[in-house]
Amino acid sequence: MKAAKKLVLVMLLTGLFMSCDDFGNVNTDPNNPSQVRTDLLLTNAQRSMSSKVGAVMGTLWVQYMAETQYTDDQEYRSVNADFNGWYTGPLQDLQTIIDLNSDSETAGDVLSGGSNANQIAVARILKAYFYQMITDRWGMVPYSEALQGRENLQPAYDMQEAIYTDIINELKAAADQIDLGSAAVNGDILFEGDMQRWINFANSLRARAALRLSETSGASLTLAENEFADAISDGVISEDVMYPYLSNADNENPWYSRFRTRTDYAISEPFADYMKGIDDNRILVFANPAPAQDNGDTEVTFDEIVGMPYVENAGNIPNTDISFPGSAIGAGGPSVGVQDAPLPIITVAEMELAQAEAVERGWITGVAADHYYAGIEASWNQWGVYGDGSDYNDYITQAEVMYDPNNWDELIGNQKWIALFPNGYEAWSEWRRLGFPALTPNPWGVLNQIPVRFTYPTSEATNNTENYNAAVSAQGADDPLTNVWWDQ
């Protein structure tokens, strides 16, 4: 009897331990997979691009927009910004994609995101995109020692010249790494896995980065000239690259979000007056009619557009007297805005104007005027104002617009300013590089000129003191009027 009881107990315990070994699907959380989904990391990183193309501060400093009530930003009071979120967010996601696809122990587990080579290449391209944005804003930043996690919580700052050299090399190598015969990347909201478009995108970013070095000298200038020409030869974009927003609050256009319940930003008077002065039809979609000037017709006229001036008390100007940004960029509020209006990341217009400049600099062969006019035409088509071409033809024959090789830098600078709208940070970088358009600082600003860089995060002086001090010493100061390396 005792033996029988012992046998039953052993059988029960054996069954219990066997069942503990295999819980089946009972403890499996489908929303928290044990393996990292690289396609989700890619999507998440790409969504961070919206914070660049849809940002406000750049639009204020390059005078696309003006504040209507709270004017601290346009008065240059907000010059300190934190770059840490870029490192812990999209850059870390992209580095994880590279690490998982490069490690022989994990490379086979992440093939659902596409071939290893193509995933690595796309992540490298996007890392270069984000790093250029970061270094353009702050100058020297952590780069070669960044993204090491707990292994290095106090990374050194790299010289901007070294960062730019590596960015350009990374974009070139990543484009070469793409294998059109292998599985495309998944989770790609930009190009839906079209790897040829990724190659053209990388070449275009390389041309953009190379042109940023046009005012440097020595080896950097030689690199810029050679790599710009090589990028154009390899093939740049033939269609605009736009950030694809959705018709829901999870991924809606940020200008739509801003105007959901508020009207804090209007088209600036300098921008509106300049475009109206040269009969530029693009301002008719960049801005809505000022309600007090609205003639009630569906066709907007130049007289209906009124820019917001820089005044001491902006709140004293009624909303009826100024033009707010238009639905072409998503703004206007829920009643008239466009929730999923795309915003430009890099466009054909920008590439054409870049090539016009490169011809004048002797970097590539061609006819500068042809690229210049092609850039303007591409921009008019981008914003849907080209029509039958008659207004465009009248526009380009004006003295202020007609191409003149003796005045190429001002003409290209002014047209690039318009064509880059509303990508404020990119326009701000190009304004710093070329010196055009000739912007007058806000007379009510606390600085006597428009800021040319952001100051470092306050946490860096405390948490990364030695490297922060070294960077400040190398650059000269940590203030908004200290030029970054390429802006000399």
3-state SS string for 389-411: CHHHHHHHCCCCCCCCHHHHHHH
54 shares a domain with 153:
yes
Structure-token pair, residue 468: 């922060």
Asked whether 246 and 340 are in contact (CB, 8 A), the reply is: yes
Sign of CA dihedral 256, 261, 262, 267: positive
Question: Chain-wide mean pLDDT for the chain?
Answer: 93
210 shares a domain with 321:
no
Characterize the bridge pairing of strands 343-346 and 265-267: unpaired
- Whether the pLDDT of residue 16 is over 70: the answer is no
* 52-66 tens-digit pLDDT: 999 999 999 999 999
159 domain-assigned: yes
Q: Does residue 157 sit in helix, strand or coil? A: strand
211 shares a domain with 277:
no
191 shares a domain with 131:
yes
Quote the pLDDT of residue 34: 52
Query: Distance between CA 277 and CA 270 in Å, rounded?
Result: 10
**Domain encompassing residue 56:** 40-236+451-475
425 domain-assigned: no
Query: Distance between CA 335 and CA 332 in Å, rounded?
Result: 7
Beta bridge partners of 265: 67
* 96-131 tens-digit pLDDT: 999 999 999 999 999 999 999 999 999 999 999 999
Asked whether 185 and 119 are in contact (CB, 8 A), the reply is: yes
Q: Which of 288, 306, 341 is the last residue of a domain?
A: 341
Place of tokens 């003639």: 295
211 domain-assigned: yes
Quote the pLDDT of residue 109: 97
483 domain-assigned: no
26 domain-assigned: no
* 202-256 tens-digit pLDDT: 999 999 999 999 999 999 999 999 999 999 999 999 999 999 999 999 999 999 9
Place of tokens 């002086």: 461
Query: Distance between CA 53 and CA 344 in Å, rounded?
Result: 7
213 shares a domain with 120:
yes
Residues 6+ apart with CB under 8 A from 324: 259, 263, 265, 266, 267, 287, 288, 331, 332
Share of the chain above pLDDT 90, in %: 90
Query: Distance between CA 267 and CA 60 in Å, rounded?
Result: 10
